[in-house]
Structure 1
Amino acid sequence: MERYIRLRWVGLVFISIAVSLIIVDSTIVNVAIPAIVDDLGITSTEVQWVQEAYTLVFAALLLVFGSLADRFGRRRVMLIGVVIFAASSVLAASAPDGGMLILARLAQGVGGSMILPTTLSIINATFRGRERGIAFAVWGSTIGGMAALGPLLGGWLTTAFSWRWAFGINIPLGILIIIGVLLTVAESRSDRTSRIDVVGAVLSVVTMASLVFGLIEGRTYGWWLVDQRPQIGDWSWPFDLSPIPFAFALALVALAAFIAWGVRRERHGRSTLLALRLFSIPSFRNGNIAATVVSLGEFGVILALPLWLQFVLGFDALQTGLLLLALAGGSFVASGAAGAASGRIAPVWVVRAGLVAEVVGVAGVGFVIGPDASWLPLIPFLFVYGLGVGLATAQLTGVVLADVPVADSGAASGTQSTSRQLGAALGVAVLGTVLFTSTAGILASSLDARGVPDEQRDQIVSAVVDSAGAAIGGLQANPDTAAIADDAEAAFSDGTRFAAWTAAGFLALGLLSTISLGSGSGRTRESEGADEVEAHAEPDRS
C-alpha cells in the first residue's frame, strides 16, 4: 500500500498514457482518412462511420463500464480495456475494406469505453485536496495535447509508411501501459455492490445509436421523405417516409424510457446505470450540460480540416500533422497555466477563458479558409484554439466531479465522459453533415451556372461528396474538367468554412452555459474528499 502511495505520481504518468492511447487514436484517424479513402475507396458516409463507429460505442458504453469498474475494480477494468483496444487495433491495421475497418473501430470503442472512465475514477480515488486538482489538470491537458499531437504522429506514419501503421502504433503503447499500471497503480473499488442495470444499458445504447444514425444517414436516405431506400439483402424500405424520422423518434422514446426506468429503480432503492441523484448537485448537472455542448464544437471541426487541407490545398498527411502541431503548442502552454491556476483561481473562470479562446480560434480558422488560402494565417488561430482546448478540458472535469462523493466516482466520471463523447459524436455527425451537404449544394449551384446538364452535374457532385473530396484531384488532372475542379475546391472550402463557424457557434453556446455554474463551482473539497477516499476508495492491500 505504501509503495503505491509513493508511486502515485508515476502511476499518473501511465494513466495519462492510457488516455493518450484512445485520444491519439481518434485524432490520428482524422489525418489518415484521405489515405484510407484512396486505398480502400470508402465513401463520405463511410468516412463519417469510421469516426462514429468508435465514438458511438465509446459513448454508449461509458456508463456501463464506469459502474462495472466501481464494482469489480477500476484498475482491472482499465487493463482489460487496454487489451481489447490493442487487439482491435490489429484488426483495423489489417482491414481489407471499409466494412471491416468500421467493425474494428466498433471494437476499439468497447476498449476505449473501459479505459477513459476508469482513469478518471482512479485519479479521484488516489489523489486528494490540491493534489487532485493538479492531477485532473495533467489528465485534461494530456487530452488536449494528445488531440493535437495525434495528427502529427498520424501524418508521419501515413506519409512515411502507411495509414495502417496509425493503428499498429497502439500495440507497443498498450504493452507499456499494462506493465506500468500493474507496477504503480493500486486497485480500488467502491464498497457499494449491486446488480448491474442491464435494461438501462440497453436503452442508453439504443438512444445513442438511433440518434447518431439519423444525423449521419439523413443526407443519404432523406430527412423526411425517402430519397434512397435502405436495403438489406432482398428487403427494401417499404415506406415513402424516410427511416430518419423513425430513428429520431426511437431515440426520443428510448431516452424517455431510460430516464423513467432510472427514476423507478432509484425509488425502489436499486442501482441504476446513471446515478440520477447526482444531478441534484448543481456543479455536476450544469457542468455536464456545458461539457456536451463544448465537445460538440471542439471535436467536429477536426473531421473537416484535414480533408480540406489535403484535398483542396494539396497537403500530404505529414504536412497536415505539422500544421496541426500549432494546436499542440497551445495545449501545452495551457497545461502549465492550468496547473499554476489550480487552487488559486476558481476552475470555472479557467473554463470560461478557455472557451473564449476556442471561439476566437475556430471562428478565425473559418475566416481564413478558402481555395487559395495560405497555411501561415492558420497557425495563430490554431494555437489560440489549442490554448482554449487545454484550459477548458483540464478544468471542466474538475468542475463536474468536484462535489461528487468518491464512492460514486466511477458512475460520475462515466456520466461526464459520456457527456463529452455524446457531444463529440454529435459534433462529427452534425458538422460532417454541414460540410458535405453545403458542399453538395454550393457545387450543384456552380455547375448549374456553367450550364452543366443535370445528369452530369449530379454525377460530379456525387463523386466529390461521396469521396469526401478525394475526387477533386482527378478533376484537376483532366484539362476538360479543370474549371469544374476549381468549382469543387471552392465548394469544399465553403463547406469547411461553414462547419468551422457552426463549431464556433456551439462553443459560444457552451460558454453561455457556464453562466449557470456560478463563480466558485468546482473548488476542491479537501477535507470531504480525503474522508471519502479513506471511507470508500481505499486501495486493496492484497
Structure 2
Amino acid sequence: MNGNQTSRRWAGLVFISIAVSLIIVDSTIVNVAVPSIVEELKISSTEVQWVQEAYTLVFASFLLVFGSLADRFGRRRLMLWGVVIFAGASVAASLAPTGGLLILSRLVQGVGGAMILPTTLSIINATFRGRERGIAFAVWGSTIGGMAAVGPLLGGWLTTAFSWRWAFGINIPLGVVIVIGVLLTVAESRSDRVERIDGVGALLSVLTMAPLVFGLIEGRTYGWWTVATVPTVGGWTWPFSLSPVPVAFAVAVVALVAFVAWGRRRQRQGRSTLLALDLFRIASFRNGNIAAAVVSLGEFGIILALPLWLQFVIGFDALQTGLLLLALAVGSFVASGVAGAFSGRVAPVWIVRGGLLAEIIGVAGVAFTIAPDATWGPLIPFLFVYGLGVGLATAQLTGVVLADVPPSASGQASGTQSTARQLGAALGVAILGTVLFSTTAGVLASTLDDRGIPAAERDQVVSQVVDSAGAAIVGLDASPETQDLAINARAAFSDGTRAAAFTAAAFLALGLASTLTLGAGASRREPEAARAGETA
C-alpha cells in the first residue's frame, strides 16, 4: 500500500470521527440545553425524557436494519445519507415551536444517527488491519467519550450566548464538512455477497426495540402494571385498567422470540438474515456484546442527571455546566493516547477492565460529592477519571467484539454491536431517569410530611418539582414564602441525583464483572492481529 493511500485512509478516519462526533455531541448537547427548553417550551419531566429518549429509541430500533443495508448498498453511501437526514432534522429541531415538534424532530434525527454509527464502525473494520485497526478503534472510541463531554460545553456556550436552538443549528456546518471530507477521502465498500434484504426481520427488530424503550420511559408516568395516568392520544383514551407499559414489554418479548425464530428459519433455507446468528458462535463477538450492553447501562448515566442538578440546585448557568463537564472530555482524549501506546502490548480486555474500574471510581466519587451546598472543585478530578475510563473502555471493547468478524459481515456485526450499546444506553437512561425523579419525589414528600405540610400542598409541590425536572426549584426560591420549600427541594433533588449516580456505578461494576466472560482468547487477540497486520 503506497503512502498516498495510507494518508487517505487516515484522513478518512478524521472525517469518520467527525461524523461520530456529530451524533454523540447532539445526544449530549441536549442535556445542558434542557433547562432552557423547559423554560421556553414549558415541557414536563416526561417530555424531558422523551426529548432525550426519542432520539435513542429510533436510534436503537434501526441500527440492525441500517447495518445490514450498508453491507448491501454501500457503507459510505448510507453514512452520507444519514448525515444529510440528520442535518435536515436538526434544522427542524432548531425551529420547533412546541415540545411535541421538538420530539418529532429528534425521532427523525434518530433515523439519521442510526445510518451513521454502524457504517462508521464497518468502514473502519473493512479499511484497517492489525495494529492499525486497534489504533483506529482507539481514535473512534475516544471520540465518543470526548464528544460526550464536549457536547455539554458547546451546548452551554450556545445556549448562554445565543439560544438553545443553536445547539441544534450547529449540526448544519458540521454536516457540510463531513459530506465533503468523506467524498474526498473514504473509499466505498460493500459486501461481496448481495442478497435480498430481510424485511420481516427488520420489522421484528423495530417491534422489539421500540416498545421496550417506550415501556421503560413511560413506566413512571403510566404505571408499571395498573394505570396511574390514563394515556391519551388526540381524542382517543386508553380504555383499560392495565397500563400500556406491560403490554409494550409483552410485545417486545414476543417480537424478540419471533425475530430469533424467523432468523433461524431463513438461515436453514440458506437465505440472508438481518442479523447473522452464526456470528454469535464467535466467542469474542457473543460475550463482547453482552459486556457492551451491560456497560452502556451505566456509562453515560451521570450526563443525564448532573446538568439538571448543577443548574437547578447549585445555580450554574449552561456555560458553567459545560465548562465543568469539560474535565470528562479531557480525560477521554487523554485515554486516546494511552490506548494507542498500549495497543499491541497489552491485551485489549485488560485495557477494558482498567477503563471500567476508572469509570466506577469516577462515578462513585461524583456521587459522594453531590450535596445541596456542594462546590465544583471536588467534582473535577472525579469527572476526569470517569472520562479517562470511558475513553479506554469504549474503543477497546469495540475492537474485541469485532476482532474475529470477517469483513464481509462487518456491517451486520457493527450494527449488532451498536444496537447492544444503544439498547443498554436506552435502558440505562430510562432506569436512571426513573431513579432520579422517583427518589426526588419520595424524599421531598417525606420531608414535607415531617414538616406537617398538608397533603394537598405537599403533592402540589412534589408534582411541580418533578414534572419540571427541577426547574420549579428556581421559582420556589424566588418567593420569600416558599424559600423553605426550595431548600427541601434542593436536598431532595440532590438525593435523587446521588441515587442515580450510585445506580450508574452499580451497572458499571456489573459490566466489569461481565468482561470476565471474554476469557483468555481476548487476551491473545491483539498481538495476533498485530502480527497479521505486519505480514499483510
Instruction: Give the alignment's TM-score, normalised by structure 2.
Output: 0.97
Matching residue of 2:305: 304
Matching residue of 2:290: 289
Matching residue of 2:85: 84
Separation in 2, partners of 1:126, 1:157: 36
Residue deviations 1:390-442, cap 9 Å, x none?
Answer: 10011010010001111100000110011111111111101001101111111
Question: Helix, strand or coil: the match of 2:189?
Answer: coil
- Shift in Å at residue 368 of structure 1? 0.6
Give the conservation status (yes or no) of the 8 Å contact 2:305–2:500: yes
Task: Tell me the percent identity.
Answer: 77
Give the conservation status (yes or no) of the 8 Å contact 1:347–1:520: no
Q: Does 1:456 align with 2:491?
A: no
Equivalent residue letter for 2:421: R
Residue deviations 1:256-309, cap 9 Å, x none?
Answer: 111111111111111111111101111001100111111110122211110000
Give the conservation status (yes or no) of the 8 Å contact 2:57–2:214: no
Equivalent residue letter for 1:113: A
Matching residue of 1:389: 390
Residue deviations 1:322-374, cap 9 Å, x none?
Answer: 00011011111111000011111100000000000001110111111011111
Give the conservation status (yes or no) of the 8 Å contact 2:131–2:530: no
- Shift in Å at residue 232 of structure 1? 2.3
Matching residue of 2:431: 430
Matching residue of 2:335: 334
Equivalent residue letter for 1:169: I
Give the conservation status (yes or no) of the 8 Å contact 1:346–1:519: no
Separation in 2, partners of 1:172, 1:367: 40
- Shift in Å at residue 235 of structure 1? 2.6
Question: Helix, strand or coil: the match of 2:105?
Answer: helix
Matches of residues 319-398 of structure 1 in structure 2 within 5 Å? 319-398=320-399
Residue deviations 1:13-50, cap 9 Å, x none?
Answer: 11111111111111111111111111111111011001
Give the conservation status (yes or no) of the 8 Å contact 2:275–2:416: yes
Q: Does 1:40 align with 2:41?
A: yes
Structure 1 unmatched ranges of 5 or more: 535-542
Q: Does 1:168 align with 2:201?
A: no
Matching residue of 2:251: 250
Separation in 2, partners of 1:299, 1:265: 37
Number of equivalent positions: 533
Equivalent residue letter for 1:161: F
- Shift in Å at residue 510 of structure 1? 0.2
Separation in 2, partners of 1:35, 1:235: 31
Matching residue of 1:190: 191
Separation in 2, partners of 1:233, 1:39: 23
Give the conservation status (yes or no) of the 8 Å contact 1:349–1:519: no
Matching residue of 1:66: 67
Separation in 1, partners of 2:137, 2:433: 31
Give the conservation status (yes or no) of the 8 Å contact 1:54–1:107: yes
Equivalent residue letter for 2:341: A
Matching residue of 1:208: 209
Question: Helix, strand or coil: the match of 1:136?
Answer: helix
C-alpha RMSD over aligned residues: 1.6
Matching residue of 1:113: 114
Equivalent residue letter for 1:317: A
Separation in 2, partners of 1:181, 1:529: 28
- Shift in Å at residue 206 of structure 1? 1.4
- Shift in Å at residue 6 of structure 1? 3.8
Equivalent residue letter for 1:228: T
Residue deviations 1:154-180, cap 9 Å, x none?
Answer: 111111111111111110010001111
Question: Helix, strand or coil: the match of 2:457?
Answer: helix
The runs of at least 4 consecutive aligned structure 1 residues that moved more than 3 Å come to 1-6, 524-531
- Shift in Å at residue 5 of structure 1? 4.3
Question: Helix, strand or coil: the match of 2:522?
Answer: coil
Which stretch has the larger CA shift, 2-11 or 459-468? Answer: 2-11
- Shift in Å at residue 4 of structure 1? 4.4
Equivalent residue letter for 1:220: T
CA separation of 1:413 and 1:72: change in aligned 2, threshold 3 A: same
